[in-house]
Amino acid sequence: MKVDIASGARHILQTLNGAGFDAYLVGGCVRDLLRGVEPHDWDICSSARPEETEACFAGQRIIETGLKHGTITVLGDGEPYEITTYRTEGPYSDSRRPDFVKFVSSLEADLTRRDFTMNAIAMNLEGELRDPFGGAEDIKAGLIRCVGEPAHRFREDGLRVMRALRFGAVFGYEIEEKTARAIHQNRHILQHVAAERINAELCKLLAGEKAGDILRQYSDVLCQFWPELGPLVTLEQNNPWHCWGGWEHTIHTVEAASPELILRLAILLHDIGKPACKSTDEKGIDHFYGHPAVSAKLAGKMLRKLKFDNRTRERVVTLVEHHDIQIPCRDRSIRKWLGRLGPETFFQLLEVKRADGMGHSYELVKNRLTQLEKTKTKAEEIIAQGQCFSLKGLAVNGRDVIAAGTAPGPDVGQTLNKLLERVAGGEVPNEREVLLRLLRSDDGPSVGM
């Protein structure tokens, strides 16, 4: 097989082979080459012991961070390449990491410890495969299958549950039946996995093109670390606006949004407060009054628990909180929301609202979707024309307010905000002379408010 191996990786394989050691590309890079996708990193495994690998690359930059597990990172072409000595792993008493690793001389033994057949293929410089578990066939068939007994492999390391789901969402592969059953049966193992590691896999999963399929089939797994999803998964919505229950609506909405993490998180959680807000009127119609605020609060808690960074959490919570607001398609309303949310969040909110619309009965919301498109175009024009919607764009600043007689302190900000509201509302032009005159007038800038 003719393959395009990065020159740095090629050089490493040649050096190790030249010194008499076996060396192969292994794991994600081989899988990606077979999928016809350019690998994003190149892992190498070798019969050379760590100190022998170091000797082979003496004089080159070497990073020893993974030495305990037999991994040496060599910098070639400015890129880091991980070289790992063939190893097997001892038992996993904590369902997280092996009690010990043991260096071995057999490539097969090393491949046996890997998670899925597609990740347990080795390739030499000539492009020849060592594929004892039929990984290449599984890649062709688009199947994710454990190496060995699935239940045992998931109990060894709970993170593999999330890795299977993530690969399923990103590659659009099916999870093979026995592997799938073992995931459902052993999902509780996730309680032993660190929140940060679940977080990393969940983020990749949500960005996957087939995230919706995985959410649909594996909500029970997600409920292991986010039990708050449970009531949404079973939520029925007897309401003419909705043609689906809470979870199916959420999935359609996720599928309709671009695969940006903040958007997808906000969408996954936008209705999480609905079950707590459900009421049914005398005609049997369900309502969810006040759910955005409840959703926002719950979403914040869930994101905190999974150790999302503050910026992501705050942005997602803002989007969830505002997902149901009406933004009239008028310049002044748009300027007001642009100012309150900032342009980036404003456009993300429009995207959340668009995707949310797509998760409803289409005939009923198509006018709303057209309005959203118009709002977006208008907002882009407002920005392109340099219209004022934030304090930064206002033709006067704090110094002007103080010069006009306001004492330094919180009053200055208040005065500026009042001016901004009037400018953004189209009541007065954003012209310095006009605004200065208003500031100096007896009534101050709040006239007419």
Retrieve residue 346's tokens. Answer: 């404003």
Which residues inside 42-61 make contact with ligand ATP, applying CB under 6 A?
43
**DSSP, residue by residue, 264-319:** HHHHHHTTTTHHHH-EE-TTS-EE-TTHHHHHHHHHHHHHHHTT--HHHHHHHHHH
* Binds ligand ATP by CB under 6 A, chosen from 16, 25, 27, 205: 27
Applying CB under 6 A, the span of 6-14, 112-120, 234-242, 264-272 interacting with ligand ATP comes to: 112-120
* Binds ligand ATP by CB under 6 A, chosen from 5, 21, 71, 114: 114
Contacts of 367 (CB under 8 A, 6+ apart): none
Apex CA 361: angle with CA 357 and CA 365, to 5°? 50
Q: Counting contacts by CB under 5 A, is residue 127 touching Mg ion?
A: no
Q: Which is closer to ligand ATP, CB of 159 or CB of 302?
A: 159
Phi, psi (deg, nearest 5) at residue 171: -90, -15
- Residue 119 contacts which entry, ligand ATP, Mg ion, none (Cβ below 5-8 A, type-dependent): ligand ATP
| CB-based burial, 159-171: b 16+ in 10 Å, e otherwise | bbbbbbbbbbbbb
Question: Residue 87 forms beta bridges with which residues?
Answer: 103
- Residue 114 contacts which entry, Mg ion, ligand ATP, none (Cβ below 5-8 A, type-dependent): ligand ATP
- Residue 271 contacts which entry, Mg ion, ligand ATP, none (Cβ below 5-8 A, type-dependent): none
Q: Which helix (H) or strand (E) holds 15?
A: helix 7-18
* Binds ligand ATP by CB under 6 A, chosen from 47, 53, 85, 119: 119
Q: Which is closer to ligand ATP, CB of 95 or CB of 253?
A: 95
Q: Counting contacts by CB under 6 A, is residue 110 touching ligand ATP?
A: no
**DSSP, residue by residue, 393-415:** G-SS-HHHHHHTTPPSSHHHHHH
Residue 11 Cβ vs ligand ATP, minimum distance, rounded to whole Å: 20
Phi, psi (deg, nearest 5) at residue 276: -75, -20
Applying CB under 5 A, the span of 28-36, 268-276, 330-338, 405-413 interacting with Mg ion comes to: 28-36
Q: Counting contacts by CB under 6 A, is residue 160 touching ligand ATP?
A: yes
Applying CB under 5 A, the span of 22-30, 93-101, 118-126, 201-209 interacting with Mg ion comes to: 22-30
Rounded CA separation 133/137 (Å): 9
Measured CA distances, 376 to 20, 23, 92, 266, 341 (Å): 63, 54, 53, 19, 14
Q: Counting contacts by CB under 6 A, is residue 444 touching ligand ATP?
A: no
Q: Which is closer to ligand ATP, CB of 35 or CB of 297?
A: 35
356: amino acid identity, one letter: D
Q: Counting contacts by CB under 5 A, is residue 28 touching Mg ion?
A: yes
The residue ranges that bind Mg ion (CB under 5 A) are 28
The residue ranges that bind ligand ATP (CB under 6 A) are 27-28, 43, 114-115, 119-120, 157, 159-160, 163
